Amino acid sequence: MTLEVVILAAGQGSRMRSSLPKVLHPVAGKSMLSHVIDLATAVASDKTHVVIGHGADQVKQCITDPAIHWALQSEQKGTGHAVAQALPAVSDDAQVLILYGDVPLTTAETIAKLIAKSPQKSATEQVSLLTVELADPTGYGRIVRNSANEVTAIVEQKDASEDQLKISEVNTGIMCVSASALKRWLPKLSANNAQGEYYLTDIIAMAVSDGVAINVCQAREPMEVQGANNRIQLEELERYYQRRYANQLMLAGASLADASRIDVRGQLNTGNDVYIDVNCVFEGEVTLGDGVRIGPNCHISNSTIACNVEIKANSVLEGAVVGEACSIGPFARLRPGTVLAAEVKIGNFVETKKANIGIASKVSHLSYIGDAEIGCDVNVGAGTITCNYDGVNKFKTTLADGVFVGSNTALVAPVTVGKAATIGAGSVITGNIAEGELAVARGKQRNISGWQRPKKLARD
Ligand code: UD1
Ligand code: CA
Quick one: pLDDT at residue 123? 65
Ligand closest in space to the Cα of 98: 1
Is the CB of residue 412 less than 8 Å from the CB of residue 397? no
Domains and CATH numbers, the chain: 3-225 (3.90.550.10), 253-439 (2.160.10.10)
What one-character DSSP code corresponds to residue 268?
E
Q: Residue 176 Cα, ligand 2 centroid: separation in angstroms?
A: 18
| pTM for this entry | 0.94
Sign of the alpha-carbon dihedral angle for 90, 91, 92, 95: negative
Residue 242, CA atoms < 13 Å, CB-side half-sphere = 24
Quick one: pLDDT at residue 303? 99
Quick one: pLDDT at residue 421? 98
Distance CA 160, CA 30 (A): 36
Give the neighbor-by-neighbor strand order of the sheet with 345-348: 254-256, 274-276, 293-294, 310-311, 327-328, 345-348, 362-365, 379-380, 404-405, 422-423, 438-439
Q: Residue 52 Cα, ligand 1 centroid: separation in angstroms?
A: 13
Is the CB of residue 182 less than 8 Å from the CB of residue 200? no
Q: Is the CB of 8 under 6 A from ligand 1?
A: yes
What per-residue string of b and e applies to 250-274 under the rule 16 or more CB within 10 Å gives b? eeeebebeeeebbbbbeebebbeeb
Nearest-atom index, ligand 1, CA of 80: 15
CA-CA-CA-CA torsion for 212, 213, 218, 219, nearest 10 degrees?
Answer: -50
Q: Is 365 a catalytic residue?
A: yes
pLDDT tens over the chain, length 460 residues: 799 999 999 998 999 999 999 999 999 999 999 999 999 999 999 999 999 999 999 999 999 999 999 999 999 999 999 999 999 999 999 999 999 999 999 999 999 999 998 765 556 899 999 999 999 999 999 999 999 999 999 999 999 999 999 999 999 999 999 999 999 999 999 999 999 999 999 999 999 999 998 999 999 899 999 999 999 999 999 999 999 999 999 999 999 999 999 999 999 999 999 999 999 999 999 999 999 999 999 999 999 999 999 999 999 999 999 999 999 999 999 999 999 999 999 999 999 999 999 999 999 999 999 999 999 999 999 999 999 999 999 999 999 999 999 999 999 999 999 999 999 999 999 999 999 999 999 999 999 999 999 999 887 6
Nearest-atom index, ligand 1, CA of 12: 26
Quick one: pLDDT at residue 54? 94
Distance CA 252, CA 121 (A): 37
Q: Residue 2 Cα, ligand 2 centroid: separation in angstroms?
A: 28
Q: CA 409, 414, 419 angle in degrees (round to 5)?
A: 65
Beta bridge partner(s), residue 98? 6, 175
Residue nearest to atom 11 of ligand 1 (CA): 141
